[in-house]
């Protein structure tokens, strides 16, 4: 199974994903690690990525998911996956194995989290562009980020039936 924790920056995808993966002994994959250096620099400067910028990033993530599928590896992926086209592309190798979990919260809560976050390349000024691009999947499990991380993980587990 591949669980994709998706949503805009600051929703806790990585934090939730690491805890979720550790509870099952699954592999946690950080989608940000697959960005080419040019993408990281654009985001650091507050320049939104376009579809062309995201293509090599999505290719690299999909390749990693294909490897996981070939090995029978269960993965929790933290990845914004903002647009339907990105979601379809990531799930395309095996749609039955990929489940999307949409982590959502109010822009105000997320802005506050970003103001408190340190050590991340994503410029908080890009939050508005991420909300503009956001197209949550219709069939995604929806989880509000207002609860503590262990409660969010428990809700995801319950909704996935695992």
pLDDT tier, 19 (very low <50, low <70, confident <90, very high otherwise): very high
Residues whose CB is less than 8 angstroms from the CB of residue 61 and which lie 6 or more positions away in sequence, other chains included: 29, 31, 34, 77, 79, 90
pLDDT attached to residue 98: 95
pLDDT tier, 88 (very low <50, low <70, confident <90, very high otherwise): very high
Query: In this prediction, what percent of the chain has a pLDDT beyond 70?
Result: 93
Rounded to whole angstroms, how far apart are CA atoms 85 and 82?
9
Residue pLDDT, tens place only, 141-154: 999 999 999 999 99
- In the block, tokens 């194995």 appear at 97
Examine the pLDDT at 123 and tell me if it is beyond 60: no
**120: which strand partners?**
none
Examine the pLDDT at 6 and tell me if it is beyond 80: yes
Examine the pLDDT at 134 and tell me if it is beyond 60: yes
Better-scored residue on pLDDT, 125 or 89: 89
Least confident piece of the model among 15-29, 65-79, 114-128: 114-128
pLDDT attached to residue 112: 81
Residue pLDDT, tens place only, 37-47: 998 888 778 88
pLDDT tier, 28 (very low <50, low <70, confident <90, very high otherwise): very high
Average pLDDT, the chain: 90
- In the block, tokens 């969010």 appear at 152
Number of domains observed in the structure of the chain: 1
Q: What is the CATH number of the domain that holds 150?
A: 3.40.50.300
Rounded to whole angstroms, how far apart are CA atoms 103 and 159?
13
The domain in which residue 81 lies consists of 2-160
């Amino acid at each position: 199974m591949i669980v994709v924790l998706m949503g805009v920056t600051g929703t806790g995808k990585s934090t939730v994903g690491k805890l979720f993966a550790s509870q099952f002994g699954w592999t946690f994959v950080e989608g940000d690690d697959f960005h080419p250096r040019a993408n990281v620099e654009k985001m650091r400067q507050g320049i939104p990525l376009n579809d062309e910028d995201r293509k090599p990033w999505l290719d690299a993530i999909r390749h990693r998911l294909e490897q996981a599928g070939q090995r029978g590896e269960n993965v929790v992926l933290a990845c914004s996956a903002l647009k339907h086209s990105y979601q379809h592309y990531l799930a395309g190798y095996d749609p039955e194995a990929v489940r999307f979990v949409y982590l959502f919260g109010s822009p105000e809560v997320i802005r506050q989290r970003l103001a408190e976050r340190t050590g991340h390349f994503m410029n908080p000024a890009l939050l508005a562009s991420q909300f503009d691009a956001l197209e949550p999947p219709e069939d995604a499990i929806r989880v509000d980020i207002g609860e503590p991380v262990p409660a969010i993980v428990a809700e995801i587990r319950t909704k996935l039936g695992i």
